[in-house]
């Protein structure tokens, strides 16, 4: 085993950091697919660190994340292949890593979404889409919209969140009015979903549509009526029983006023 791989197994943050720096240096030259996979495997092992128990290793985990992000699109297939054998903590870090790659991650993630029909892979890709801050993320909008309407609760949940995140990065003038209507009313339909978390994410995403200029006057008034229902401000004084949903709705009121 090469020295820099051994260093990554140390309990001393300084030694681990040296190993990561050595790998980052090697990545600046031409690296074979086999060596890329070995480097990815070693670096991503740090994503399983419990930084609550080892706060001193948080810095090296973040350092490793940045180096994997520097691998760019070549790391996407490696990330996707890891999903079946990872835990939630590491999965979230991997998704953030895709976001750190920026727009270069869009095409390979989109390809992975269509090539891998299993829910865990598609849900990951949807979550990662929401982490990418680029106007070019508009390319995934049709895919995310279809996922919002999916019978799979896992895809539906993640896609509802991703819609709002994507709208933070794109300009409403770049989308047809019909598509904006589809986005808006697809989210409105989720306000009656039996799942509290999906309803709360739909409210949050609708708020982002308002904040970032995607809604016209008619849509705003329709949303206001829905928010009033959630908060019990209607004539019947019936509110959404989930505080999580009401909390998000209260914030949206601020954007509508």
In this structure, what token pair is assigned to residue 27?
């990545």
Q: Which pLDDT value is given to residue 238?
A: 81
Question: What's the confidence (pLDDT) of residue 257?
Answer: 73
* pLDDT of the residue at 3: 75
Does residue 68 register a pLDDT over 70? yes
| Chain segment 168-204, per-residue pLDDT in tens | 999 999 999 999 999 999 999 999 999 999 999 999 9
At 9 the pLDDT is 87
pLDDT band at residue 5 using 50, 70 and 90 as cut-offs? confident
Instruction: Using a pLDDT cut of 70, give the percent of the chain over it.
Output: 99
Average pLDDT value over all residues in the chain: 92
Each residue of 24-39: b (16+ CB within 10 Å) or e?
A: beebeeebeeeebbbb
Positive or negative, the CA dihedral 229, 233, 234, 237 is positive
- Answer for the pair 219, 184: CB distance below 8 angstroms, yes or no: yes
The predicted model gives 213-228 an average pLDDT of: 94
Residue 110, C-beta contacts closer than 8 angstroms, at least 6 positions apart: 125, 139, 140, 143
1 exposure class (CB count in 10 Å sphere: 0-12, 13-18, 19+): exposed
Note the pLDDT tens digit of each residue in 148-172: 999 999 899 999 999 999 999 999 9
pLDDT at 237 exceeding the cut of 70: no
Residues 6+ positions from 58 with CB-CB distance below 8 Å = 49, 51
Whether 119 shows a pLDDT value over 70: the answer reads yes
Judge whether residue 249 has pLDDT over 80: yes
SS3 state of residue 175: coil
Q: What's residue 95's pLDDT?
A: 93
- Residue 53: what are its φ and ψ, rounded to 5°? -80, -30
């Amino acid at each position: 085993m090469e020295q820099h791989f051994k260093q990554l197994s140390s309990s001393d943050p300084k030694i681990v950091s040296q190993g990561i720096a050595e790998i980052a240096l090697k990545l600046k030259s031409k690296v074979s697919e086999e060596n890329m996979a070995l480097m990815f495997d070693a670096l991503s092992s740090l994503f399983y660190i419990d930084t609550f128990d080892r706060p001193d290793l948080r810095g090296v985990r973040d350092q490793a994340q940045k180096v994997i992000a520097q691998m760019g699109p070549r790391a996407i297939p490696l990330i996707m292949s890891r999903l079946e054998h990872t835990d939630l903590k590491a999965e979230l870090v991997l998704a953030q890593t895709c976001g750190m790659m920026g727009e270069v991650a869009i095409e390979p993630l989109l390809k992975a979404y269509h090539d891998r029909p299993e829910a865990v892979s598609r849900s990951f890709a949807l979550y990662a889409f929401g982490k990418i801050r680029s106007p070019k993320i508009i390319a995934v909008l049709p895919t995310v919209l279809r996922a919002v309407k999916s019978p799979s609760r896992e895809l539906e949940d993640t896609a509802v969140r991703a819609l709002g995140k994507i709208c933070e990065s794109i300009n409403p003038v770049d989308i047809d009015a019909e598509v904006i209507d589809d986005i808006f009313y697809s989210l409105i339909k989720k306000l009656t979903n039996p799942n509290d978390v999906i309803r709360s994410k739909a409210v949050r995403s609708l708020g982002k549509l308002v904040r970032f200029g995607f809604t016209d006057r008619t849509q705003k008034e329709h949303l206001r009526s829905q928010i009033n229902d959630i908060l019990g401000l209607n004539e019947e004084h019936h509110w959404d029983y989930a505080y999580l949903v009401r909390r998000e709705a209260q914030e949206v009121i601020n954007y509508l006023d």
